[in-house]
Amino acid sequence: MLNDVTFAPATAGRLLLANLGLDGFDRGVKALARTLGDAGFECISTGLFQQPSAVAQAAVDEHADAIAVSMPSGGHPMLVRMLIHELWSRGADIPVLLIGALSGADQAALKAAGAAGIIAPGFSGPQTIAQFVSAVRHSA
């Protein structure tokens, strides 16, 4: 239960939740959707096995305020870089937050490439909400 959280307004933002490439693990994205939905965010899922170009286009089409990308393994940094490039090529300044366990080197490289934040295993509901509220506010 998230009783100690200062919830965002009912229109906290529209979040696109994505599983890139061969990522077939959606448990984390579903848990995130529940947590952020309870905090007032509208969560839109792209489904499994998405290409960066499709996620970027969906984010533009859905007027997303932020994108959450599931990162269950270390093989996704290239796909995230491609997603950020696809967003920029569409003129979309939409923050991309990563969900999952990433090495320190991958975290630094992805932040340098434009990732807005990382939701690591063990983050609490309030920490997760704060990351997304901050990302949405900074992009507005």
Quickly list DSSP for 54-122.
HHHHHHHHTT-SEEEEE--STT-HHHHHHHHHHHHHTT----EEEES---HHHHHHHHHHT--EEE-TT
Whether 3 maps to a domain, the answer reads no
pLDDT, tens digit, 9 for 90 and up, residues 73-94 = 656 788 899 999 999 999 999 9
State the average pLDDT over residues 18-37: 83
Residue ranges making up the domain that contains 57: 15-139
pLDDT at 95: 96
Mean pLDDT computed over every residue of the chain? 85
Whether 26 maps to a domain, the answer reads yes
Whether 7 maps to a domain, the answer reads no
Percent of the chain with pLDDT over 90: 46
pLDDT at 123: 87
Tally of domains in the chain:
1
Whether 9 maps to a domain, the answer reads no
Whether 74 maps to a domain, the answer reads yes
Q: Residue 80 belongs to a domain with what CATH number? A: 3.40.50.280
Percent of the chain with pLDDT over 70: 87
State the average pLDDT over residues 93-120: 90
State the average pLDDT over residues 111-131: 90
pLDDT at 7: 47
Q: Which residues contact 78 (CB under 8 A, 6 or more apart)?
A: none
Whether 2 maps to a domain, the answer reads no
CA separation for the pair 65, 51 (Å, rounded): 19
Confidence of residue 135 (pLDDT cuts 50, 70, 90): confident
State the average pLDDT over residues 122-136: 89
pLDDT at 41 over 90: yes
Whether 130 maps to a domain, the answer reads yes
Q: In this structure, what is the dihedral angle of CA atoms 53, 119, 30, 69, given to the nearest 10 degrees?
A: 10
Whether 1 maps to a domain, the answer reads no
The structure's pTM equals 0.86
